[in-house]
Every structure is written in C-alpha cells, then in structure tokens.
Amino acid sequence: MSARRPSPPVVPLFTKWLLVASKISQPYRVASSSEAGLSLIECLVAILVIAVTVLTITPPILLATASRIQSRRADQANQIAQAEVDRIRGIVERGTYAVAELPPVGDATNVASTTAATSVNTALLLSPGSTCNPGKYPPVLTSPPPATSPLNSNQLIPVDIDGDCQAEFAMQVFRTQGCVPSNKPADTAPYSFSVGVRVYAYNPQDGTTVPNPLKTTRANLGVTAARQDIRGDLDGTNQVVKYPLQVVYSKTSRNTDADSFQCVARDQSPPTPAPSPSPSP
C-alpha cells in the first residue's frame, strides 16, 4: 500500500494566486495612472484655445452693444426733435399767439441754411423734472409777452430726458421769417413758416462751450461713426467736430381764418428736406 502524498499547503497556493493576479492587473493600473491628470503641454493648449475663443467672440459682442446704445440715443434725439416740432405746431394751430412764443429766426428764407449754434443757453432746461434749476423751457412769458423771443437761434438748449435735471442732449431751435397776410401789421406773428430742430449729444460738464464748429448735417449712425456722433471727432486741423444726432425741418401754417389762405397760396413750396447723413470717416 503506497503512502499518501501530503496535500500542498494552502498559504503558498494563495500567495501564488495573488502574484499572478497582480501581474495581470498591473498594466491596467499603469494605464489608469497615466490618464489621471493633464500634462503641462495639454494645459497650455487648453488655455490657448480658450484665449482664441474669447478673442473671437468679444469684438462682435462689443460691436452689438455699441450699436444698440447708438440706436437708443438716436431714437431719443428723434423723439426730442419731433416733440419740439409738435409743440410749435400746436401753438400755431391754436390761432392766437405772439412772436415771442415762436422760435427765433435763423436764416430768413431757407431753414436749412441756418448756421450752427455757437453756445449753450444754460439758463434754460427742457426737463420733465418739476424742481430743476435753472428755469424751465419753454420760458414763461410775461403778459403781454415781449415783442421778440428770449432765445437766440445760435444757442443750444439743454435737454434732460429722465427727470434728474442733468442734460443728456442739447437742441437748436429756429425758424424762417415766415409769411404775414398783407392786411396785417408787419409785427404780426407769422401765419406760415418753416421750423428746424437739431439735437446734439451734450455733457453738462462742458458748460456753455461747444465744439467749434458744430455741424448741421445729421450724423451717420453707423457703428464706425460712434465716436463722431456721440462725443465728436478730430478733423484735419485737430479740432473737435460734432454732428447732430437728429435734424428735423418742417413747415407749419395757421388755418384758422380766411387771411391764412394768403400765406398758403404764397408758400406752396414743399418742406425743406433734412440733410443727408455725413459720411463715416
């Protein structure tokens, strides 16, 4: 009877199994360890890609923002000009008014030929605020009103649009001499005339100073002209030049009695067209 072989010890077999398992799993651990982080070159590439992306999308965003601001200011300037024209038209349609209630005379016959303003009348302010100082525009006239307008055609009137008593715009208001019926005294308020309004950007810190010369041609509202429209631009002699954000020319006539038809018949020419926008630099 042969002798039984002793069974192999359990511990060596378990140890051998652990060694085999560790060798099999080692490549996976090495691969896992190599993918756990990014190298310096990979980080630099990622930073470069992010920087290029930011530089690519930033200019269009800034351009869109500037264009939106520019359009908003142009729309506000247009509202100011149209509101002033409507105010003057309402005075004329009322039928009873004095010369002093009308804008000052610029060019006697051609409203578009009126020269640009040379100063700012800081004693007046067009504002929705009720506690603004200086005085309100239009000025309160005495009774009976003076024979001439307290304004001057070569002055800008500060305009506040949000009621904080700080002007954001300034407008120049003027008219032609107009028509007086032949059977009326010469100093009678005109029955028919052309009125013009030019609206500029304005900073109260500028006081009564305006760029010399101001332009009378409406600014090009393209993005490339933003610096020209808002704060002015330098011309060839390094002088600051500013263009109006809006220009409105309109004719108004009084139609309350038979005498008004004399002026309507004498003045059949169409309203003076607003000037074309200035070219972008």
pLDDT reported for residue 220: 77
Residues 202-219 have a mean pLDDT of 80
pLDDT tens for residues 137-192? 887 777 777 766 778 899 999 999 988 888 999 999 999 999 888 888 888 889 99
- C-alpha span between 1 and 4 (Å, rounded): 9
Q: How far apart are CA 129 and CA 241, in angstroms?
A: 31
Q: Among residues 84, 150, 154, 96, which one has the least CA distance to residue 123?
A: 150
pLDDT beyond 50 at 233: no
pLDDT tens for 242-252 read 889 999 999 99
The listed range with the strongest mean pLDDT (21-25, 43-47, 116-120) is 116-120
Q: Can you tell me which residue has the tokens 């010890």?
A: 9
- Helix runs in 35-160, H state only: 40-94
Task: Find tokens 């055609």 and name the residue.
Answer: 153
The span from the CA of 230 to the CA of 203, in Å, is 10
Alpha-carbon distance of 107 to 194, in angstroms, equals 10
Contacts of 260 (CB under 8 A, 6+ apart): 181, 191, 192, 253, 254
Domain ranges of the chain: 53-266
Least confident range of 54-58, 84-88, 215-219, 235-239: 235-239
Q: Which comes out higher in pLDDT, residue 144 or 231?
A: 144
Residue 221: what pLDDT? 66
Mean per-residue pLDDT for 7-33? Answer: 53
Would you call 244 helix, strand, or coil by DSSP?
Answer: coil
**Distance between CA atoms of residues 126 and 132, nearest Å:** 9
Query: Which residues share a beta bridge with 111?
Result: none
Q: In the prediction, which pLDDT does 21 show?
A: 55
Residues paired with 156 in a beta bridge = 120
The CA distances from residue 79 to 48, 119, 135, 169, 197, in Å, are 47, 23, 22, 12, 11
Query: How far are the Cα atoms of 30, 33, 44, 120, 177 from residue 38, in angstroms, in the given order?
Result: 15, 11, 10, 65, 81
Contact 229, 219 (CB under 8 A): yes
Q: What is the pLDDT of residue 169?
A: 93
DSSP 117: P
DSSP β-bridge partners for residue 248: 197
- For position 232, what pLDDT does the model report? 47
* pLDDT of 66 higher than 80: no
The yes-or-no verdict on residue 79 having pLDDT over 70 is yes
Mean pLDDT for 80-91 is 94
